[in-house]
Amino acid sequence: MYIFNSKLVETSQYYQNRDLNLGFRRLIDCALDTKSLDILKDVLAFTDWRYNADSKTEEEEIAKAAMLLEKMQKINLHYDEILPKNIITARQVSKKYAKGNFVLGPLDVNVRMSEMVGLVGENGNGKTTLLRLLCGELKATSGEIEYLFSRAFKNIYELKTRLAYVPQRIERLRGSLMDNLQFTLSQYGVKKEENHLSALAFLARMGLWQYKDLDWSRLSSGYKMRFELVRTLLRKPEVLLLDEPLANLDILAQQIILEDLRFLSSSLSRPFGVILSSQQLYEVEKNSDKILFLDNGKLIEQQIVENTNEEDFSLILELHTAVSRQELQGVLSKMQLEKLNYNGGSYIAYFPKGQAITDAMLLLGKEKIPVTYIRDISKSSRRFFVEGTFKNPLRHAELVSDKGIAGDPESSSGRNDGDVENNSILK
């Protein structure tokens, strides 16, 4: 079965399972992949009905979506599978500022087509600096960055066309959403009917249909970020670099935006790679293909950890409970608990190799310990952020204190060693 037909089947299944919102977003993705203005018109008419019909049922929406999917299937499109090729390769790149002692790197970074890369680390560890190096806004002190785009670029302007950087603080715009989007499209040679339909389709795709006639200034900060993503995607970038795009979004919106980026980056007609920095570890890990962790300017590539054999890891659990420390410690000691820390309202429990989260859950249930949250962070980048977590999980057993259980750690203060957030040399 052709890849495009598989995408149609997947979208149909969302509707059959009554995942209507996800099905709708994926329906627009399929329509955009057809590159057919007639299909876009039909989908936009469906969108208008979906938002504005006086009365409608789920069955009606599912039936209308099925008709649109059937119409797309008749086009009989054939797309080749997207190859996992590198589109950015950074080799031994470093950056040292004239003031301060902070040095980023040297480090190696690869970004592939349709790959989503999460960039995490405490503030002041170089996340924004790395993004600005990759997009050409900063010049590396040493090393090289190679861009392997589908077409060669001649100058920095063409580079920034293929590689779009969205900062945390986006520029102020004037006018309506539609005016801004149509102006962006016109700058890239998209005219007349295609210009209007493409702008509407992407507004609908990113949940901004009801705000299309509003001025940019009337949007909330979270919706401004959504709009900025729309404006950027219309440029058809090959790489999208996002600096804290989730900062002003609620939890549900964070999950949807990350899911949308994963879907959109795998577009058959306009695929792109993504690298984004964020403090929302769980959401980013769930949707990313690879996690890069920056610690004091040095890079720890999470993918290496994830490819290590399961049996090589000791178990690290994060959990919330209202019981006393002594009671929890007594219960978990039955699993050979090596260390119990308290960090940011959560307990961090360390166990030797061979233990599993299922063992802990069974034990806690048997002892009737009320747990409101539990997560295995043995291979999560979360373990890099908690006090007392050893950054090389393979050496955890060697580093555990002979005394076994340690006292509560003192909270650690955030660092700022020269990253862009507070470095006066940068804008």
Nearest CA-CA partner of 332 in 315, 313, 354, 349: 349
Between 229 and 400, the higher pLDDT residue = 229
310 — pLDDT class (breaks 50, 70, 90): low
- pLDDT over threshold 80, residue 97: yes
Whether 330 has a pLDDT exceeding 90, the answer reads yes
Helices 37-52/192-205 angle, 10° precision:
40
Whether pLDDT at 82 is above 80: no
In the numeric block, the tokens 């979906």 are attached to 50
pLDDT of 400: 36
pLDDT of residue 391 exceeding 70, the answer is no
Q: Is the pLDDT assigned to residue 307 strictly greater than 80?
A: no
Pairing of strands 239-243, 116-120: unpaired
- pLDDT tens for 346-359 read 899 999 988 999 99
403 pLDDT higher than 70: no
By CB neighbour count within 10 A (0-12 exposed, 13-18 middle, 19+ buried), where does 273 fall? buried
The mean predicted confidence, pLDDT, of the chain is 83
Give residue 16's Cα distance to chain centre: 27
Instruction: Assign 132 a pLDDT band (cuts: 50, 70, 90).
Output: very high
Which pLDDT belongs to residue 386?
66
Between 122 and 413, the more confident residue is: 122
CA–chain centroid gap for 401, Å, is: 36
Flag whether pLDDT at 93 surpasses 50. Answer: yes
Q: What is the pLDDT of residue 113?
A: 93
User: According to the model, what pLDDT value does residue 13 have?
Assistant: 96
Mean pLDDT over 326-331 rounds to 94
| 10-14, 301-305, 332-336: range with lowest mean pLDDT | 301-305
DSSP-derived pairing of the beta strands 116-120 and 86-96: unpaired
- The per-residue pLDDT for range 158-210, each reduced to its tens digit, is 787 789 999 888 888 998 999 999 999 999 889 999 999 999 999 999 999 99
Q: Count other Cβ atoms within 10 Å, centred on residue 180.
A: 20
Between the alpha carbon of residue 280 and those of residues 16, 32, 64, 258, 387, the distances in Å are 32, 30, 37, 11, 18
Residue 46: is its pLDDT beyond 50? yes
pLDDT mean over 322-331? 93
Whether the per-residue pLDDT at 280 is higher than 90: the answer is no
pTM of the entire predicted model: 0.77
- Examine the pLDDT at 83 and tell me if it is beyond 60: yes
CATH numbers and ranges of domains, the chain: 3-73 (no CATH), 86-304 (3.40.50.300), 308-399 (3.30.70.100)
